[in-house]
Structure 1
């Protein structure tokens, strides 16, 4: 499963954002229903503007990657969240499923 960062976990956020630098990585965040960000396990995500790049998320449509806007979340090269078109190719961070 793609990575889920628990809301309010600053320690986890700092670890993941520092790990990601200087690359872009997919994480398990989506707003398939625009404006309603959720993790891929369907848990709601509460936007923390401090974790997003300035002006993001913006659902940009001028990307030339197919129809639609930017519905998938990524950790960008600077360790901040960004929304991107889901067909963009980049590395991803998964989490281990525990029983």
Structure 2
């Protein structure tokens, strides 16, 4: 580009010179002065062009550096995000495996009423699940044990429910989730609702302040509740709201 500008200026100057038939001393001085000015202009143009080229290269270099930094930051962010996703995936897999093992255990923990419940923990009867403990505990320990295995001391909503499990409980006395810690006011420990019992075991139902916990015993072909001391050790019935159907 600089070369083209020089050629154009020289052509203009050449035409002016050729067009002059004869140069006087004054004209010659003007010509020399013009040539010097042209040289200065030429030099200035060269400087400007070099400056522009330098600035252009610096701009390109700065853009390349910024772009590299941006790409590097993006790559690091993608790598970090990928690592986080991998860690979360491993955690998710571990959780799924744990859940799978628990579900598999539940598959073996539930059986249908009528099978040998002694080989497993839970039985199903009329939409309810029950666990009949082989060991004897005081009432409060029995309640804690039921909570620990995902249930609660059984709440017998009606005589039909008691009769459904009669064949399993008739050989023993079992704690259920009923108390009258406030004397004479029987409540279910599961939800603290008032327990309405009309068919008590003969001679029971209001045995005083030292008999605040309730158990079931067979009488006349039915399971009937009786209140007794909470410190006595008896087997117990846990209930769960979740049933595994086969």
Cα deviation 1:15-58 (Å, max 9, x = unaligned): 1344211201000000000000000020110121x2x1112123
Query: Per the alignment, in what secondary structure is the counterpart of residue 13 of structure 1?
Result: helix
Structure 1: 4+ residue segments shifted above 4 A: none
Q: 1:95: Cα distance to partner?
A: 0.5
Q: TM-score scaled by structure 1? A: 0.77
Distance 2:210 2:186 in 1: 14
Which residues of 2 match residues 1-99 of structure 1 at below 5 A?
1-6=152-157, 9-41=158-190, 42-48=192-198, 50=199, 52-59=200-207, 68-78=209-219, 79-98=223-242
Task: Report the Cα distance in structure 2 between the residues aligned to 1:17 and 1:29, rounded to whole angstroms.
Answer: 18
On the 8 A contact 2:180/2:213 being kept in 1, the answer is: yes
- Who is 1:64 aligned against? none
Gaps of 5+ in 2: 1-151
RMSD: 1.7
TM-score (norm 2): 0.33
More helix by share: 2
For structure 1, list consecutive stretches of 5 or more residues without a partner in the other structure: 61-67
3-state SS of paired residue (2:175): strand
